[in-house]
Amino acid sequence: MSVKTRLGIMMFLEYLIWGAWAPVLTDYLQNTLHFSGAQYGFIMGLLPIATIIAPLIGGQLADRWFASERLIAFLQIIGGVILLLGAAVQSYGTMVWIMLVYCILYAPTLALTNSIAFMNLQNSEKDFGKIRVWGSIGWIAAGWSLVGWRLLAKTMPALAIRGDLLFLAGIFSIIMGLQSFTLPHTPPRKEGTHPWAFLEALKMLKDKDFLIFTLISFVVATELQFYYVLTAPFLTSPKIGVASASVSGVMTIAQIAEIFVMAFLLPKVLPKNGIKKTMTLGILAWPLRYIIFVIGGPPWLIIASLSLHGFCYVFFFTVAFIYVDMIAPADIRASAQSLISVVILGIGSFLGSIFSGWIRDQFTAGETTNYRNVFLVPMVLTLLCAVLFVSLFREKKAVAAPQA
């Protein structure tokens, strides 16, 4: 089996695991375990917190002591066992600890899988995208696997497990742990890197335009969590009427759109329109989606609007990382990527999870949530971000590559 094939399977499994539980965990926590919005918002914020401390675990261990593929195997197998245990948990306190431990184990593998791919591809600039797309395919496969599991459980009651999403993700995690032993041997580099190297990039925040770019990215990241935290409960609410058994499959519309936008539209739109216009299109897709959520129907329109996620995520966040790579000085480029990752994937996502759960509780009476009022909040905030971005942000030219 070729190296590229093994790396593609690795990416498929990495996101198969995440996609099995993340899109529908809040639906499970709300409608099965009856947690409040604040409670499941906090649980959804644990993975962003884990991404902040992940360099201390994955980066240092892989750089100094352990081969990356063996470290992934260990983290995924132990993480899989934790998820299998979590499938039976019903109390909030225990679920917090289960998910915290799991997220600390899983978060480092996101960077480690990228690292293994970059280090074992002869032309990573050309081939990495072809490898990474299998992650999006894995996420889609996870949603439909859960749908299939739940349909099969209707005829085979033994499969009707309360925490089936966590149980299935646990099985996938153990499979990936075993598959990791087949990956190319990637020994530690020994020299190591500073786990908080992104602090070196803080000097870039002295630039007004980069500060504006960072602050708007942070706010938009908080509003992304309204989608991740509340879409599944919204879709399964009586007004929309998507069955819990099929909601994970319905939500894969977002990832299908993401693949389409990344593969076909981004290569055409970005060179033609530049960073600012492309990111503006990305920001505007957010309030458009939330406007449709606020309208609240018809159900087919709500479901169709999930495809806007591809524009939201690729045109804004993917392009944001491309922009940072373009303008950061060569000697702090990796640090700048770490900084923006912590802002968007770490702090912004954590606070957004807490905020979205809290907002949901403010507009919930008994078992009924007024989703119109809930989604008015991210609609207004993302629209404001679009206005500020257009009026305040000035796109900088790419830093010239160093002369050979």
Domains, the chain, with CATH or none: 1-193 (1.20.1250.20), 196-404 (1.20.1250.20)
| SS3 category, 357 | helix
Question: If you ran DSSP here, which 8-state letter would residue 202 be given?
Answer: G
pLDDT in tens, 66-113: 788 898 999 999 999 999 999 999 999 999 999 999 999 998 888 788
One digit per residue, the tens of pLDDT, for the chain of length 404 reads 898 999 999 999 999 999 999 999 999 999 999 999 999 999 999 999 998 887 666 655 655 677 888 989 999 999 999 999 999 999 999 999 999 999 999 988 887 887 788 778 877 556 777 888 899 899 999 999 999 999 998 888 888 888 999 999 999 999 999 999 999 887 776 554 555 555 667 888 888 999 999 999 999 999 999 999 999 999 999 999 999 889 999 999 999 998 899 888 988 999 899 999 999 999 999 999 999 999 998 999 999 999 999 899 889 988 888 888 788 877 676 677 778 888 898 899 999 999 999 999 999 998 899 999 999 999 999 999 999 999 999 887 766 544 43
Q: Compute the C-alpha angle 21/25/31, nearest 5°.
A: 145
Can you read off the two tokens belonging to residue 91? 């109390």
389: tokens are: 């971005």
Judged by DSSP in three states, 368 sits in: strand
The b-or-e profile of 315-352 (16+ CB within 10 A means b, else e) is: bbbbbbeebbeebbeeebbbbbbbbbbbbbbbbbbbbb
Cα–Cα dist 171/151, whole Å: 18
Give, in degrees to the nearest 5, the angle at Cα 102 between 98 and 105: 150
Which pLDDT score, from 0 to 100, does residue 116 have?
83
Owner of token pair 């499941």: 40
Burial label for 188, CB within 10 Å (0-12, 13-18, 19+), is middle
Q: CB of 244 within 8 A of CB of 259?
A: no
Q: Which of 225, 224, 248, 217 is nearest to 235 (CA)?
A: 248
Query: 230 with 353: CB under 8 angstroms?
Result: no
- What integer pLDDT is reported at residue 62 of this predicted model? 52
- The pair of structure tokens assigned to 395 is 């796109």
- Give phi and psi for 128, each to the nearest 5: -60, -40
Tokens representing 377 are 């909040």
Say which DSSP state 205 is in: G
The whole-angstrom separation of Cα 377 and Cα 74 is 41
Q: Identify the burial level of 153 via C-beta atoms within 10 angstroms of its C-beta, where 0-12 means exposed, 13-18 middle and 19 or more buried.
A: middle
Contact 311, 317 (CB under 8 A): no
